[in-house]
Structure 1
Amino acid sequence: MFNKKVFSEYIYKKNKILSLSIFLALNVLFLTGCVNKNTYRPSIERPFVLTTFTILADLARNVAGDRLLIESITKPGAEIHSYQFTPSDIVKTKGAKLIIENGLGLEAWFSKFMSSTGDIPKVKLTEGIKPLLIDGDAYSGRPNPHAWMSPKRAMNYVDKIVDAFIEIDPDGALEYSSNASTYKAKLESLDKELRDSLSSIPKERRFLVTCEGAFTYLARDYGMKEAYLWPVNAESQVTPRRMVNLIKKIKENEVPTIFCESTVSADAQMEVAKSSGAVFGGTFYVDSLSDLNGPAPTYIDLLRHNVRLITKGLSISKVKK
């Protein structure tokens, strides 16, 4: 005998199960879409180029214009020397036409990274540049990799980028060359601006003290001396001996102000400042740009920010005895 009540309950339960199934299916699709959005690159018309860090990405964008899409593997604020790449970084390389690295041993992780990416062309921007060597400490005699801290050497980077872009996109040769010429003119102007600013510091105070020895190229260009806690961030161990030696140099040279970089802790340098009588003058950007709202969203902004801090800090009264 047909039971209307039982049938109604059956239909109700079936519809409820169906509705729940549809709801779950839609959620799976939504979540999958979110993962794909963050993990897989959508189809794009412009060729896609990766760089190892944000500063190289900015240089590359100034050459690429609208013809190429440029992205950095590392994010603003990342420590780039011993960066630990992730599976999502490997996925970023999907469809890349080129990967740009600095070289000179800066990206210690890069060879292993490339072995996981397949056959993607790469270009090393310091190839052909005569490096300055690290003086003293455990890295003595090795090339200092921070060549981009000199606007003049950054122009060499730009030339390398142009050649690499023409290799993957010959039709854009004129545009890349034109963009590079415009950008290099800005770097020429920046070089003069920085020279004028730093030359205003009394000669006896042109002694730059930082956490990392990343300013060798800038110091050489503009007639400054330098000292630091460690040679490169990949070997940023703070030892009592290093601190004592740096404090001694600061006192001997009457350095009024010392600094540190954005991608490392400034705690040790704060202690050095306290013990030496110097002032802690602020944070430099060297291995990474800031975010868009920070003081160094571009390479040119980065150098201007650093030189403003240097000029202000080294122009004050001498260190207290």
Structure 2
Amino acid sequence: MSGLVQRRRPVGTAARRRRLLAHAVWLAVTVAVTGCAANTDGGPRAEIVVTTNILGDVVNELTGDVARVTTLMKPNADPHSFEISAQAAAHLADADLVISNGLGLEAGVEQHLEAAAAQGAPRFVAGNRIDALSYAGEASGPDPHFWTDPARMLDVIDALEERLLEIDAIDAAAVTQNAADYRAELKVLETEMTAAFAEIPDDRRALVTNHHVFGYLAKRFDFEVIGAAIPGGTTLASPSAADLAELTDAIEKHGVPAIFAESSQPDRLMQVLSSEAGIEVDVIELFTESLTAPGDAADSYLAMMRENTDRITTGLTP
């Protein structure tokens, strides 16, 4: 329960007025608000704030209409570099629960999360509830991209359900049922991914990306990550000529047919890498770090994972 501060709140008339006022402020200062249906019993609902839109989608699946969920990160954003306004940061402390990815992912927001926790805002850090991997190669530190492995997400769901049930204004029965339903969907997803990736020949199971994002997926589904255009776990770094030359050699050695670029980042580096390799290599866009806008190809966690599975399988299969 590292980093977790529990706080009980009154549910009387005064508390209800504070919750309604807090909700009005959130609508004005945050970047995305979802889950706004009325609570079924007419009582106050829990106010939950989530940093990334991937986790925001998952939290909405678990809470349904029994909590008001505010997601700070807009669609198609980069979690490594997104920031929030000072007004939004000031109101983090009003939340019943603040949920973040952790493991160094939300570098631009972490100071605000720590400040809110110091003021008593309860925190749930998903990365603290999984068996974290270290980055491969020269990148250092824990890898925060655990959501690329649906089994790791199951671990997050288990811990998150337990934490949500500790909130006074939560409908425990609804959350329990929603969590069970979502676990079933995740298990179906993992089965589908296993079957799809099994179609890729052993000699073509090599991944090259714009930065290190597929460590968990590679371990779960038996891929080899041979390198990244940016040799690190964040999009904020820049590759050197030597980095690109080394990766070009690895692409040639492994006969890589496709390299993958994150949709929230320009693929210029990947296109340069493709031309520098001197071989025919496709550059394929994936949705690995952010959901898209509603109605687009990756507007939920499950949709994102299925779309990426299809694109990886298509790109690497002869």
Give the TM-score band, short-chain normalised. 0.7 to 0.9
Q: Show the counterpart of 2:20.
A: none
Q: Show the counterpart of 2:288.
A: 286
Instruction: Please report the RMSD computed on the Cα atoms of aligned residues, expressed in angstroms.
Output: 2.4
Structure 1 residue aligned with 2:315, among 309, 313, 316?
313
Shift of 1:197: 0.4
Verify the 8 A CA contact 2:261 2:270 in the aligned structure 1. Answer: yes
Q: Which amino acid in the other structure matches residue 303 of structure 2? A: D
Q: Distance in 2 between matches of 1:107 and 1:94?
A: 18
Q: Show the counterpart of 2:260.
A: 259
Q: Show the counterpart of 2:173.
A: 174
Shift of 1:164: 1.7
Shift of 1:234: 4.6
Is 1:39 the equivalent of 2:29?
yes
Q: Distance in 2 between matches of 1:114 and 1:308?
A: 36
Q: Distance in 2 between matches of 1:278 and 1:207?
A: 16
Q: Which amino acid in the other structure matches residue 304 of structure 1? A: R
Is 1:54 the equivalent of 2:56?
no
Deviates more, 1:143-152 or 1:279-288: 279-288
Q: Show the counterpart of 1:9.
A: none
Verify the 8 A CA contact 1:101 1:124 in the aligned structure 2. Answer: yes
Relative distance call for 1:268 and 1:234 in structure 2 (3 A) is: closer
Aligned residues: 281
Shift of 1:174: 2.4
Q: Show the counterpart of 1:106.
A: 105
Relative distance call for 1:186 and 1:111 in structure 2 (3 A) is: same
Which stretches in structure 2 are left out of the alignment for 5+ residues? 1-23, 39-43
Verify the 8 A CA contact 1:52 1:100 in the aligned structure 2. Answer: yes
Is 1:160 the equivalent of 2:159?
yes
Structure with the higher helix share, 1 or 2: 1
Q: Show the counterpart of 1:242.
A: 243
Shift of 1:281: 3.6
Verify the 8 A CA contact 2:83 2:109 in the aligned structure 1. Answer: no
- The SS at the match of 1:126 is helix
Is 1:97 the equivalent of 2:96?
yes
Q: How do 1:1-321 residues align onto structure 2 when only pairs under 5 Å count?
A: 38-39=28-29, 45-90=44-89, 93=92, 95-117=94-116, 118-137=119-138, 139-140=139-140, 142-169=141-168, 172-226=171-225, 227-230=227-230, 231-276=232-277, 277-316=279-318
What percentage of residue pairs aligned between the two structures are identical?
27
Q: Which amino acid in the other structure matches residue 73 of structure 1? A: L
Instruction: Write the deviation string for residues 22-74 of structure 1: whole angstroms up to 9, x where unpaired.
Output: xxxxxxxxxxxx999633899x8422211111000011111101101112111
Shift of 1:171: 5.3
- The SS at the match of 2:209 is strand
Verify the 8 A CA contact 1:150 1:221 in the aligned structure 2. Answer: yes
What TM-score results when the alignment is normalised by the length of structure 1? 0.81
Verify the 8 A CA contact 1:99 1:123 in the aligned structure 2. Answer: yes
Relative distance call for 1:124 and 1:239 in structure 2 (3 A) is: same
Verify the 8 A CA contact 1:281 1:309 in the aligned structure 2. Answer: no
Relative distance call for 1:252 and 1:122 in structure 2 (3 A) is: same
Q: Distance in 2 between matches of 1:220 and 1:95?
A: 39
